[in-house]
Amino acid sequence: MPSIPESELIARIALHAQWLASLGASGTQLVLHDADLSSVELPGVDLTDATLASVCFDRANLRGATFGGANLASSSFVDADLAGADFTKANLDHAVFRNASMLELRGFRTSFRQADFRGADLSGANLFRAYLREARLEGATLRNVNLTQAELSGAWIEGADFRGAEAADTVFVERLHDSAASVIEGEMALQCLVAAAADG
């Protein structure tokens, strides 16, 4: 996985900003595949509609960054700081967020199919209508998360903390076992029990 010199990365981000501002008339869309951006410092960066598939952002500082509509499939954010980041309508299928800080992250209609959130802290995140089918949420903290109309079919939630989570309308959870109890309450607990009974 090749690394990118900081000067080149900054230049390419500037071209991407120009591309966004001009609606594609000038500048260049940021497109990276299999790149190593581990430990990069890009708080507040706007990478809307960028293509960043299979990119390594491990331990990166991306607080408040914007990735709306971006393709981040199979990218890695292990131990990254994503607090306040905006992933609205982004593709994060198969992405890895182990032990990441994702406080108050925005994931409206974001696709997280088979993403790995084990040990991550998503407290206060907005995952309205997010697609979390078969996601790994074991040991994750999801306190006060908005999961309204989210899709969690086949998600693994052992040991996850859902206290205060909002889960109105359709939320499907199938893989809830007694081996490592999750902390779930209210309507969320009811839906989990119904789904678990149906699955069994």
CATH no. for residue 100?
Answer: 2.160.20.80
Lookup: tokens for 40: 């990069």
SS3 content of the chain, % helix, strand, coil (to 5): 15, 20, 70
Query: What are the strands, taking DSSP E only, across the chain?
Result: 31-33, 51-53
Distance (Å, rounded) from C-alpha 186 to C-alpha 100? 26
Give DSSP secondary structure letters for 138-175.
TT-B-TT-B-TT-B-TT-B-TT-B-TT-B--S-----B
Give DSSP secondary structure letters for 82-99.
-TT-B-TT-B-TT-B-TT
pLDDT value at residue 154: 86
pLDDT value at residue 180: 46
Distance (Å, rounded) from C-alpha 40 to C-alpha 58? 8
pLDDT value at residue 181: 47
Lookup: tokens for 88: 């609205």
Which of helix, strand or coil describes residue 16? helix
State which residues form the domain around 116: 1-199
> What's the distance, Cα to Cα, between the start and end of the chain in Å?
43
Q: What's the angle, vertex CA 145, arms to CA 181 and CA 57, rounded to 5?
A: 95
Query: pLDDT (tens digit, 0 to 9) for every residue of the chain, 200 residues total?
Result: 788 999 999 999 999 999 999 999 999 999 999 999 999 999 999 999 999 999 999 999 999 999 999 999 999 999 999 999 999 999 999 999 999 999 999 999 999 999 999 999 999 999 999 999 999 999 999 999 999 999 988 899 888 998 888 876 645 555 554 444 455 554 555 455 344 434 54
Choose among 119, 100, 110: nearest CA to 67. Answer: 110
Lookup: tokens for 108: 């409206």
Torsion sign, CA atoms 117, 36, 68, 74: negative
- Residues 26-42 have pLDDT tens digits of 999 999 999 999 999 99
Give the total number of structural domains in the chain. Answer: 1
pLDDT value at residue 17: 98
Choose among 32, 27, 36: nearest CA to 2. Answer: 36
Choose among 42, 153, 142, 137: nearest CA to 98. Answer: 137
pLDDT value at residue 193: 38
CB 163 within 8 Å of CB 183: yes
